[in-house]
Amino acid sequence: MDTLLETPLPPTDPREHLTSPTTRAVLRVQHTMLAAVREYLSEQGFTELLPPVIGPVTDPGARGAKQVDVDYYGHRYKLMTSAILYKQASLTAFDRIFCIAPNVRLEPLETSSTGRHLAEFHQIDVEIAGASREDAMAVAENIVRHAVRRVVERAPDELSALERDTGAFAGLLSGTPFGHRTHASAVAGLHDLGHAQSPDAEIDWVGEALLSKGSDVPFFVTDYPKGSRGFYDKESRDTPGTLRNFDLLAAEGYGELCSGGEREHEYHTIIARMRETGENPAKYAWYLKMVREGIPASAGFGIGLERLTRYVAGLHSVWQASAYPKTPGVVSP
Ligand code: AMP
Ligand code: MG
Q: Is the CB of 270 under 6 A from ligand 1?
A: no
Report how far ligand 1's centroid is from the alpha carbon of 310 (Å). 13
pLDDT along the chain (333 residues), means of 10: 57 93 98 98 98 97 88 98 98 98 96 92 98 98 98 98 97 95 97 95 92 94 94 96 97 96 98 94 98 98 98 97 96 90
Question: Strand 54-55 relative to strand 47-48: parallel, antiparallel, unpaired?
Answer: unpaired
Q: Is the CB of 57 under 6 A from ligand 1?
A: no
d(CA 119, CA 105): 5
Contact in structure between 67 and 79 (CB atoms under 8 Å): yes
Per-residue pLDDT at 224: 97
Nearest CA to ligand 1 atom 18: 117
Handedness of CA 326, 327, 329, 331 (dihedral sign): negative
Report how far ligand 2's centroid is from the alpha carbon of 44 (Å). 25
Residue type, 164: R
Q: Give the other-Cβ count within 10 Å of 239's Cβ.
A: 10
DSSP 8-state assignment for residue 72: E
pTM equals: 0.97
Top-level CATH class of 4-321?
Answer: alpha beta
Contact in structure between 263 and 125 (CB atoms under 8 Å): no
| Residues whose Cβ atom is located within 5 A of ion ligand 2 | 259
Pocket test for ligand 1, best of 305, 307, 309 (most atoms within 8 A of CB): 307
Q: Is the CB of 302 under 6 A from ligand 1?
A: yes
Q: Where are the domains of the chain?
A: 4-321
Strands (E), 54-145: 54-55, 69-72, 75-79, 96-104, 120-129
List Cα–Cα distances, 257 to 48, 208, 266, in angstroms: 21, 10, 28
